[in-house]
Amino acid sequence: MKLSYFLVFYICLISCGKKDLFQKKSWCSEAPIYTTYAAAMERSEFLIDQGYEFLYDDPEKPLTFHSQKGGALGLVFRIDGELVQNVKEYFLAPQIHESFPDMVSFSCFPKEGVEVKGIFLVYSSRIAIQEFEIINHTQKAIAMEMIPFVSNKYRSFREISQQGNMAIEFQHEKYPDSWSLNQSIPYEDSLQNTWFFSEQIGKWGSFSSFAGESPQPSFEFDTQRKSLHQIFGRAYEKGERLLENGSQARIMVISSNDPRFILTENSPIWDSPVPSIDHAGLFRLELGNFPKGISLNSLKLTYYNLKRQIGDQVEIQSSLPNQRIDFDAKKGKGFQFVRGIKSVPTSGGIQISWQALPGAKSYKIYKRTYPGNGFYELLTEVQNESFEDKFKPFEGYNGYVIIPEGDFVGVHSEEIYTLPSADFNAWLNSKDADKSGEHSRVIAAVLPIELSSKSSKTVRIGRKIRGIEEDLKHILNDIQILSSLDFEPFWIDNKELFANVPALSTSNEEELLLYKSAWNMMRQVMYPPEERSPFNYYVFSREPTWGWGHGGQVFHESITMLAYAYLDPESAMNSQRVFSHRQNDNGYINYRTGSYLDEIIEYNGQLTSSAPWYSWLNWEIYNITQDKDFLEEMYASSKKFYKFYISERDADGDGLLEWGGHAILESVRDALVAVWDEVGWPSNFESIDLNCMMVMEAKALEKMALALGLLEEAAQWRKDHEQRTTLINQVFWDEENGFYYNVNKTDNSFTFKTENDLKRDEIIGFLPLWAGVVDEEKAKRLIQKLTDSKQFWRKFGVPSLSAVDPYYNDKGYWNGPVWVEWNYLIFQGLKDYGYHQEAAELTDKIAAVMISQLKQNHNLWEFYSPDEDWAGYHKTYIWAGIINRMLMDKDKR
């Protein structure tokens, strides 16, 4: 088939490979570009805030803007009667032309000769607008239907209704996680949506399934009941935490003494509005759901991951309340479950059938009644592949799961409900009129469009989210304004903002796209001043939203400001002012701070702060902004903070500091640390990392004092860091291994429980390079260990623990992965000691895995594997942005 001239031109235009990626061009689906969007800082708010991830490159799915809890905005086309649904069916797949933190432009050809140019703008935390220009390049008129839809796997939509000819109203829910509830952060859980169109709706419908799957009611919880007996944990595969949630994983618990009853991932959680397996793979099971009298002394837990086809079974002989149980999922244990389940309503009941399972001796059928019981009771056991249940009418519905019995581990089936089904795909392929289904997971509208030859038409689709108490009349007035909103000023604002970033010397297109992506992400996590904060502040992640990463800012994440300050110096300074504004009179700054959060953690009579990267950050940001007012403010605040740390973190008065408060949290390395887990609690040790940080704090204070003309104070700061430097080299250096280690606080030895058990090669041993406390000979020995490919000089960067340590896990947490911010500290140390080639090589290693992951999933992650092309566990993560400082400084001498 020959391509017409406009397609040849278009393909040339969109081909990846152009230079200067900050100019408008096109990027194909394999391009390493970040594609999550949230409102610009000045139009953002914390409580009702919706971001979206653009999914444009999955051939098996429609064009979609996805959110974790707020639902996905998708689009399907019907052109001259032909349905074009998934990207693989497009004549020419979507291409991105420009991308900023709050907006993206793209285009595609769903069918030959029919071009769709799209713009997606997250106008505010509550409003998203899509604009589509449909162009008919052909010689004939076409009849077209745009079919926008909203879908939600998190919870079903409620109260769905059409409003006039150009809007649909519905409600959705977004519940906070346990961490947010524990921090008493306010939230809006029930939200009203106005979904509006610039064209009249031809027909619309709401559906319980997308493609024929069994209707799924929303996950249950009971906040009126205090948790009675909860078990929780995670599943792992070869040390990798599995993130699959309740739609991709199954979990079951049964009493070994009474197999009549089971609980599954669909059993409600008490005291918290969360699903039993959340988006981070954390599972919870409330054993209080079992009937009274069921023995909990002997339990059998089964986990099975549908996506990976692996599982694990654990037996508990004595169950404890709030007990952690982790699964080690693997193949080879013979897990089996039934497939091909079909259900048909019968007169007064339901008929369920399934495919025969080889080796199955029988099938146990468990039944649950909704609303009411949180347990499933054994209904019957059958030898063939079907059964019928008769039941009397009642207000509610039933759920059924099937467990095969045989010489294998039986896993329960998907749950089948006695609910009416309404299928979106079936409706698309039919001529049905409006259709409304219960427990709706999809809402769709049909917008008819007629296009004559060589003509075009522009269509706008918008979504406004609000609290359910807000008046609809005001919303309809807003819609009229939004339908004609000029997008050009938003493009101009973004271009002017990003014109400030330094240019890279590289011509490597993928590296430039990583650079662009990191700027977009760093800017995107910024919120404006609101509530307790008179200054702008950041969160770790806007979309997806997870409590630990969404409460506010903390010192160690603020290292990212050393890159971000080149983009927006004022908001970088204001982010630091958030800390000084909340500072206590004694100098203490709480662990985490946000517009609605002051996370003050008291532990063993001490207040937990964060790692002391405060004075250093303030000085480095001043170096970028050259703002003397900021310097004066932050010098006063930094002095107070330094004195707090000195007075509160030297329990034995020997001049060396140990982590205090909740020391694991304060140390940054807050889980799976070799020494913390296998030797002792951090407060037992004089800490090499903490003392290096305090050297850098005192050095920064000296520089600040000199810049302000405070010579006597500068001399005192110099004395402080010189004394600490001497102590560090006297106490922490191990001549035998050529490395720095924590020491026992009582005798300054490398022994705590067993001989030399503190001599674990962790990433903190390289911080003396960053702090500039080593002489040339010690630096040489550190570099030898650093560049040993068997230990730290791995394929994709420096791991947090030596790869030869038995506790090492490249997909663990602080026992192996590459943390980009800590690699930045090593990078800076290498540069300072003249190891420029090694610093550049380290940058290239980290950039390589970040680029590869951007190609695969278009996101930036909390950390990366040093050994494999892998990233985890939280995405859209602010501190990944420090890669831009490494890219900027890589070639500097």
The enclosing H or E element of 114 equals strand 114-122
- The pLDDT, as a whole number, for residue 435 is 73
**Are 723 and 764 a contacting pair, CB within 8 Å?**
no
- How high is the pLDDT of residue 32? 97
Q: How confident is the model at residue 19 (pLDDT cuts 50, 70, 90)?
A: very low
Average pLDDT over residues 450-461: 97
Residue 644 is predicted with a pLDDT of 97
Contact present, 511 and 58 (Cβ < 8 Å): no
Spatial contact of 440 and 208, defined as CB atoms under 8 Å apart? yes
Predicted confidence band of residue 600 (pLDDT cuts 50, 70, 90): very high
416, 435, 464 - which closes a domain = 416
- Do 27 and 148 have their domain in common? yes
Q: Is residue 772 part of a domain?
A: no
Q: Are residues 433 and 383 in the same domain?
A: no
The one-letter amino acid at 96: I
pLDDT on residue 474 = 67
Domain boundary among 463, 494, 525: 494
Same-domain status, 52 and 168: yes
The mean predicted confidence, pLDDT, of the chain is 93
State the Cα–Cα distance between residues 463 and 838, nearest whole angstrom: 50
How many C-beta neighbours within 10 Å does residue 89 have? 16
Quote the CA–CA distance of 670 and 682 in Å, as a whole number.
11
14 confidence band (pLDDT: 50, 70, 90): very low
The whole-number pLDDT of residue 7 equals 38
CA distance 225 to 272: 9
Task: Classify residue 428: in a domain, yes or no.
Answer: yes
Based on the fold, state whether residues 410 and 470 are members of the same structural domain. no
Q: Is the pLDDT of residue 280 over 60?
A: yes
In this prediction, what percent of the chain has a pLDDT beyond 90? 86
pLDDT at 332: 75
Mean pLDDT computed over 588-596: 96
For residues 238 and 171, membership in a common domain is answered with: no
Same structural domain for residues 310 and 290? Answer: yes
Same domain? For 270 and 300 the reply is yes
Q: What is the 3-state secondary structure (H, E, C) of 339-406?
A: CCCEEEEECCEEEEECCCCCCEEEEEEEEEEECCCCCEEEEEEECCCEEEEECCCCCCEEEEEEEEEE
Question: What value does the mean pLDDT take over residues 423-444?
Answer: 85
Query: In angstroms, how far apart are the furthest CA atoms of the chain?
Result: 92
Q: Does residue 446 register a pLDDT over 90? A: yes
pLDDT of residue 3: 39
Choose the final residue of a domain: 359, 385, 416. Answer: 416
| Each residue's pLDDT tens digit, 720-761 | 999 999 999 999 999 999 999 999 999 999 999 999 999 999
Nearest-angstrom CA–CA distance, 870 and 848: 11
Q: Is there a domain that residue 256 lies in? A: yes
The 10s digit of each residue's pLDDT in 400-415 is: 999 999 999 999 999 9
The CATH number for 83's domain is 2.70.98.40
pLDDT value, residue 25: 66
Give yes or no: residues 109 and 49 share one domain: yes
Residue 641 lies in a domain: no
Q: Which domain holds residue 272?
A: 221-339+350-416
- pLDDT for 24-55, tens place per residue? 467 887 899 999 999 999 999 999 999 999 99
371 prior amide bond cis, ω within 30 = yes
Structure-token match 């997806």, residue found = 544
Is residue 592 predicted with pLDDT exceeding 70? Answer: yes
Segment 129-173, tens digit of pLDDT: 999 999 999 999 999 999 999 999 999 999 999 998 999 999 999
| 680-699: pLDDT as tens digits | 999 999 999 999 999 999 99
- Enter the pTM of the model: 0.94
Report the pLDDT value the prediction gives residue 472, as an integer from 0 to 100.
Answer: 66
Same domain, 158 and 232: no
Residue 866 lies in a domain: no
Is residue 164 in some structural domain?
yes
Q: Do 428 and 410 sit in the same domain of this protein?
A: no
Mean pLDDT, rounded, for 759-780? 98
For 570, phi then psi, to 5°, come to -65, -45
The pLDDT of residue 473 is 66
Among the listed residues 270, 65, 241, the one whose alpha carbon sits nearest the alpha carbon of residue 152:
65
Residues 79, 202 share a domain: yes
Count of the separate structural domains present in the chain: 2
Q: What is the pLDDT of residues 784-832, one digit of tens each?
A: 999 999 999 999 999 999 999 999 999 999 999 999 999 999 999 999 9
Mean pLDDT is highest, among 201-210, 426-435, 727-736, for 727-736
**Is there a domain that residue 771 lies in?**
no
Q: Is residue 742 part of a domain?
A: no
Are residues 229 and 144 located together in one domain of the fold?
no
Which range, 18-22, 247-251, 882-886, has the best average confidence (pLDDT)? 882-886
Q: Give me the pLDDT at residue 565, please.
A: 98
